[in-house]
Amino acid sequence: MNSELVKTKASTLPPTLQWVGGIDGFLRLIDQTKLPVEEVYFDCNSVEQTHDAIYRLVVRGAPAIGIAAAYGVSVAIGTAMKEQADARKAALAAIDYLATSRPTAVNLFWALDQMRVVVNEATDQELADRVLQKAKAIHEQDRQTCAAIGQHGAPLLNGCRNVLTHCNAGALAASEKGTALAVIYAAHELQPELHVYADETRPLLQGARLTAWELARSGVDVTVLCDNMAASLMQAGKVDAVVVGADRIAANGDAANKIGTYPLAIVARHHGVPFYVAAPVSTFDRTLADGAGIPIEQRDAREVSHPYGTQTAADGANIYNPAFDVTPAELITAIITDQGIIQPVNAANVAKTIGLS
Ligand SMILES: CSC[C@H]1O[C@H](OP(=O)(O)O)[C@H](O)[C@@H]1O
């Protein structure tokens, strides 16, 4: 996409996900596998299409896949009604099926657990309507959550000129604004000169493709760099802070995020650069004492060996493709949540901020 086209684009972003119609409606997603070159939509008219959209990262990012899965339960009920099948049975089967789409982001399971409660409580007559209303409520709650994360986090970037981020934790990873980018958007409103370095984030390039697209469309000055360039940038004193998202945070503050986050935290600590994680309370997994138990998604080898269909790894080579890594709490300066700032990052402060339940 040429820079002129980007400059003429509206600063508002298209909705990451939206429900179209009533209880017999469908879930419409912007197809993130096509961005930034094509702005096209992927409609989920079945639970299988919803599961596929989550697995293929048509929709991605911890909050967004939770919201998509919630709507996926409504899609399953709509299908059952059309087929005159047992809608409650279909909804419960959809919840179990959608839980198999991706293992790391706890928001997926947090959302599905809430949907299961509604499905079990609703009468037959109110089932379809109540499930859809719950999915919409989770969607709306996330809008508020992202805004709160932005407001809590912006002051931490006071005086920062250059902020580095990894992957995409923006509007495309949530309902709108996102988590790490919500902080950046809020800081940018106060400091229009704020500049962002976006790690391209191999192998799927969420930073180059999605974060740069969001920020450029939103009028935030952004520079894309290869992941292996971040260390020398910090060594040169060109990074004032790092802000990233998270997919699952253990009770002691250990945080799973896109692969490549952990080395970024090490380098940031070595160079005295503040390292912030931004995440809603729904990203915390209270059942895990530390990050050792966080399931790490292993993805298809071809994402590494044949990026975008072009073979780059030699035949006969094995491929290692974990989608996430875990950054220990002691390397995180603060966790920015919708309920406030966790700093220093330890189990006591996590429990105080997110509550124990
Ligand atoms: C706001 S959560 C975003 C989080 O999710 C991304 O992973 P993926 O693109 O595989 O869904 C990445 O870890 C982001 O930080």
- The verdict on whether 43 is a catalytic residue reads no
62 lines ligand 1 (CB under 6 A): yes
d(CA 318, CA 321): 10
Domains contained in the chain, CATH given: 3-146 (1.20.120.420), 150-353 (3.40.50.10470)
Best residue for ligand 1 mutational test, from 257, 264, 300, 335 (most atoms within 8 Å of Cβ): 257
Judge contact between 354 and 279, C-beta under 8 A: no
Q: Please tell me the residue having the least CA distance from ligand 1 atom 6.
A: 61
CB of residue 206 inside a 6 A radius of ligand 1: yes
Give, using CA atoms, the residue closest to atom 12 of ligand 1.
258
Q: Whose CA is nearest to atom 5 of ligand 1?
A: 61
Identified catalytic residue from 199, 227, 247, 325: 247
Asked whether the beta carbons of 347 and 247 are under 8 A apart, the reply is no
pLDDT of residue 8: 39
C-alpha of residue 53 to centroid of ligand 1, in Å: 15
Look up residue 181 and give its amino acid: L
Task: Report the pLDDT value the prediction gives residue 355, as an integer from 0 to 100.
Answer: 85
pLDDT averaged over consecutive 10-residue blocks of the chain (357 residues)?
A: 40 90 97 97 98 98 98 98 97 98 97 98 98 98 98 98 98 97 98 98 98 97 98 98 98 98 98 98 96 98 96 98 98 98 97 83
Following DSSP, what letter does each residue of 211-227 receive, concatenated? IHHHHHHTT-EEEEE-G
Do the annotations mark residue 61 as ligand-binding?
yes
Ligand 1 proximity of 247 Cβ (cutoff 6 Å): yes
Beta strand pairing status for 334-337 and 248-250? unpaired
What's the gap in Å between 302 CA and the centre of ligand 1?
19
- In this structure, which residue's CA is closest to atom 4 in ligand 1? 61
Beta carbon of 77 within 6 Å of any ligand 1 atom: no
Collapsed DSSP state (helix, strand, coil) of residue 134: helix
**How would you class 276 by CB atoms within 10 Å of its CB: exposed for 0-12, middle for 13-18, buried for 19 or more?**
buried
How many Cβ atoms sit within 10 Å of the Cβ of residue 50? Answer: 31
Confidence check on the interface: ipTM exceeds 0.95, yes or no: yes
State the pLDDT at residue 11: 53
Please provide the size of the chain in residues. Answer: 357
Angle at 36 between CA 32 and CA 37, to 5 degrees: 115
Mutate which of 168, 200, 321 to test ligand 1's pocket (most atoms within 8 Å of Cβ)? 168
